[in-house]
Amino acid sequence: MGEEETVQQNIVHSGIQSKADKSPVTVADYGSQILVSLALMMEVSGPFSLVAEEDSEELRKDGAEEILEEITDLVNETLVDDGSYSMSFSKEGILSAIDNGKSEGGPTGQHWVLDPIDGTKGFVRGDQYAIALALLDEGKVVLGVLACPNLPLSSISNPNGSSSGDRIGALFSATIGCGAEVESLDGSPPQKISVCSIDNPVNASFFESYESAHSMHDLTSSIAEKLGVQAPPVRIDSQAKYGALARGDGAIYLRFPHKGYREKIWDHAAGSIVVTEAGGIVTDAAGNNLDFSQGRFLDLDTGIIATNTQLMPSLLKAVQDAIKEKNHAASLL
């Protein structure tokens, strides 16, 4: 069993903290960020720039000693088990390792983009989550890797469980201009993947967040109805949605955060290149490509949608009609 799965099963309340924006963060989020950035620093030559979700700020405050100790133990145990690095961290070393390479990204140069645990709420619930890593080069995503330890390797028939006999754990990867692939987490040969070729929305299904606080389920159901989608929504946490879409488990991805929320680049960089390299299209609600060159945030016309080339024109129209209708209804209140 992987270290992260062990942590997922053993996570206790003390290992889950609330961040300033009230979202949860766990020992696994911090631990994963340290381990992935450590591996990157060992491999990457030259300057190391990392735009990552977590930082050490909360852990430096009074009252965080216990969680800092848990993270230190977790990282050191993982390094011993793995055997690739002969090193161990002090608590101070852990704090500085979390901020390794800390950067704001931007339009020039190369920046790694990391979401060490994407879908923390899913992780804590025992459902889907992903470790998402991407590389920005001159403001464009050129590489993406998405590890989904709880996602069935071949396809999801039952989103939070497994179909009988299916292996669990999928690693998606994509390089600009070279397509997208999936392989098992224990190293089976990679298989090329592509988005589904459905062109009639009646046969399409759509992915959205499990958490209604992350995406407006009423708006997405109105979009689906306008399109003529018959199947109920497939609600799963994290960028596992992008991976599942990229290999054709479903046809459409919808994400409509509530007013005022600003999307972060690490929530979409890896997932979006996996989908586009699998032949799909990812845009905002106005049909614009996502712009990863503006720092930590994505500046966009609220909403992110993804599908294949055949369905995109009708999806975009349904999205715009549903938004217009919602705004009109709100103006009458």
Choice from 264, 296, 317, 326 touching ligand A3P (CB under 6 A): 264
Tally the C-alpha atoms within 13 A of residue 260's C-alpha that lie toward its C-beta.
2
Structure tokens at 176: 């600009």
24 pairs with which residues across the strands? 18
Residue number of the CB closest to ligand A3P reads 209
Give the H or E element holding residue 193. Answer: strand 191-193
Q: Does the annotation count 249 as an active-site position?
A: no
78 binding ligand A3P? (CB under 6 A)? no
Q: How far is residue 274's CA from residue 245's CA, in Å, rounded to a whole number?
A: 9
267 binding ligand A3P? (CB under 6 A)? yes
Q: Which does 257 bind (CB under 5 to 8 A by kind): ligand A3P, Mg ion, none?
A: ligand A3P
Choice from 15, 31, 105, 119 touching ligand A3P (CB under 6 A): 119
Residue closer to ligand A3P by CB (options 102, 296) is 296
- The minimum distance between CB 114 and Mg ion, in angstroms, equals 9
Q: Which does 212 bind (CB under 5 to 8 A by kind): Mg ion, ligand A3P, none?
A: none
Q: How far is residue 209's CA from residue 128's CA, in Å, rounded to a whole number?
A: 11
Q: How far is residue 4's CA from residue 203's CA, in Å, rounded to a whole number?
A: 36
Binding residues for Mg(2+): 53, 115, 117-118, 267
3-class SS string, 119-140? CHHHHHHCCCCEEEEEEEECCE
Residue closer to ligand A3P by CB (options 214, 226) is 214
53 binding Mg ion? (CB under 5 A)? yes
Cα–Cα nearest to 115, from 295, 284, 267: 267
33 binding ligand A3P? (CB under 6 A)? no
263 binding Mg ion? (CB under 5 A)? no
Structure tokens at 327: 């705004």
Residue closer to ligand A3P by CB (options 263, 277) is 263
Residue closer to Mg ion by CB (options 124, 311) is 124
Q: Residue 325, Cβ neighbours under 10 Å: how many? A: 13
Q: How far is residue 149's CA from residue 46's CA, in Å, rounded to a whole number?
A: 31
3-state helix, strand, coil in the chain (%, to 5): 35, 25, 45
- The minimum distance between CB 192 and ligand A3P, in angstroms, equals 25
Residue closer to ligand A3P by CB (options 80, 213) is 213
Binding residues: 53, 115, 117-118, 267
118 binding Mg ion? (CB under 5 A)? yes
* Stretch of 58-66, 75-83, 111-119, 297-305 contacting ligand A3P, by CB under 6 A: 111-119
Q: What letters, b where the CB count within 10 A reaches 16 and e where it falls short, cover 192-217?
A: ebebbebeebeebbbbbbbeeebbbb
- The minimum distance between CB 92 and ligand A3P, in angstroms, equals 26
Q: Does the annotation count 120 as an active-site position?
A: yes
Choice from 3, 54, 70, 118 touching ligand A3P (CB under 6 A): 118
Report, as residue numbers or ranges, the catalytic residues: 29, 120
